[in-house]
Amino acid sequence: MSQQSNSQDDRIGPIGRMLYLAGVLGMHVARLRAADNFDVILDDLALYENVLLRHGGKRLATATALEIGYGQRPFRLIALNWIGANAVGIDLDEPVYRLDLPRIVRLLRANGMVRTAKSLVRRVIFDPSEYRKLASVLRSRYGEGRPFDARRLLSGDASAAAAWSAIPRELDLVLSEDVFEHIPPDRIPPLLDMMAERMRGDSLAIIAPMIFTGISGGHDLDWYPHRVNEPLDGRTPPWGHLVGQARPADTYLNELRRSDYRRLFERRFEILEEVDSYHRLGEQHLPPQRRAELAGYSDEDLFANKVRFVLKKR
Ligand SMILES: C[S@@+](CC[C@H](N)C(=O)[O-])C[C@H]1O[C@@H](n2cnc3c(N)ncnc32)[C@H](O)[C@@H]1O
């Protein structure tokens, strides 16, 4: 297979390779332009502030907060700290926000040569301008803020007790966006136990997984929420991931339903709010025949996508 790819490379020649590299660069620039829009981060902060107000929690700017799964670009965490929150994050992946030799060695060990090289190129060439833009958006909305300390980016498995040693003993707020669907079902109860241990009676958790059974739940880029309303045009069938008609996801998914999360959360938490960010997303792709093929799933399953649970310790 790799021999075949090499011989294809040879046939492409230097001009083909240059065009290919220009294409890759173009895609990065397009992605960068798309990422210029930090409204979603500002919207998240406003939403968290409103949730805290509704349920009598602390003000966001004075809260001690934990973000579970901050991702490769910790924009939300940077924004929380900018406005004054004492926020730390934990992610399974080694962060590339701060680059020093020990971290590069850890990246190489954890992610291998190719992923490390990609991360480094992105961090050195593309990320600095994004972080500058984020700072300018935050400055114009909130005024001057606190510079971000990379030591707030912890790495480890949030469901393992060892990862919690550097997390503050008392948390006012626990946040997690698009992460819980990547955690194996048997690791979620220990994670919830540890969250509950660090939360007080008036602390809140805002946990928003992308639910597997929704039209976007298979994590296929073609079926991400912003593309659902486009014409089908050769895409895999809608909800194909539920009936073996989809490309395999390139990430681990626990396949939990909305009702499974409810059951797991209710062991330790009272569910104060449960809101889907979308209303019956993809309904136009569900004529009676397709609905019949998905008979094993309820409407609640099929129309659950990004569901935000607001939790209070029991
Ligand atoms: C889809 S990304 C979401 C990133 C970010 N929350 C966002 O909204 O852009 C999922 C992240 O969850 C992290 N993750 C998955 N399982 C985890 C675990 N057990 N503990 C900590 N982080 C985890 C992954 O490393 C990844 O960065």
Average pLDDT over residues 95-111: 85
| Cβ of residue 249 lying under 6 Å from some atom of ligand 1 | no
Identify the burial level of 223 via C-beta atoms within 10 angstroms of its C-beta, where 0-12 means exposed, 13-18 middle and 19 or more buried.
buried
Q: What digits encode the pLDDT tens for the residues 139-182?
A: 999 999 999 999 999 999 999 999 999 999 999 999 999 999 99
Q: How far is the CA of 66 from the centre of ligand 1 (A)?
A: 13
For residue 238, what pLDDT is reported? 97
Distance (Å, rounded) from C-alpha 92 to C-alpha 155? 6
Which residue among 88, 92, 180 is best mutated to probe the pocket of ligand 1, counting the most ligand atoms within 8 A of its Cβ?
92
What is the position in ligand 1's atom list of the atom closest to the CA of 187? Answer: 19
> In sequence order, which ranges of the chain are alpha helices (DSSP H)?
2-35, 39-54, 75-82, 101-121, 127-142, 188-198, 258-268, 288-293, 299-302
pLDDT above 70 for 37: yes
108 CA from centroid of ligand 1 (Å): 19
Residue found under tokens 């486009």: 230
Atom of ligand 1 at shortest distance to CA of 73?
Answer: 9
DSSP three-state, residue 307: strand
Q: Please determine, for residue 196, whether its predicted confidence score (pLDDT) is greater than 70.
A: yes
Q: Is 91 in the pocket of ligand 1 (CB under 6 A)?
A: yes
CA 282 distance to own-chain centroid: 21
Backbone angles phi, psi at 157, to 5 degrees: -85, 115
Identify residue 221 by its one-letter amino acid code.
L
pLDDT of residue 8: 42
Burial code (b: 16+ CB inside 10 Å, e: under 16) for 249-278 equals eeeebbebbbebbeebbeebbeeeeeebeb
Q: What is the mean pLDDT of residues 129-134?
A: 94
260 Cβ inside 6 Å of ligand 1: no
Distance 245 CA to ligand 1 centre (A): 26
Average pLDDT over residues 48-57: 93
- Residue 90 Cβ inside 6 Å of ligand 1? The answer reads yes
Encode pLDDT of 230-286 as tens digits.
988 889 999 999 999 999 999 999 999 999 999 999 999 999 999 999 999 999 999
- Pick from 61, 49, 75: which is nearest to 204 by CA? 49
In sign, the C-alpha dihedral spanning 32, 221, 311, 304 is positive
Q: How far is the CA of 171 from the centre of ligand 1 (A)?
A: 19
Cβ atoms within 10 Å, residue 213: 25
pLDDT above 70 for 6:
no
Q: Is the CB of 44 under 6 A from ligand 1?
A: no
How much distance in Å is there from the Cα of 244 to the middle of ligand 1? 25
Element (DSSP H or E) covering residue 180:
none
Q: Which residue has a Cα nearest atom 27 of ligand 1?
A: 71
135 close to ligand 1 (CB < 6 Angstrom): no
CB 104 within 8 A of CB 120: yes
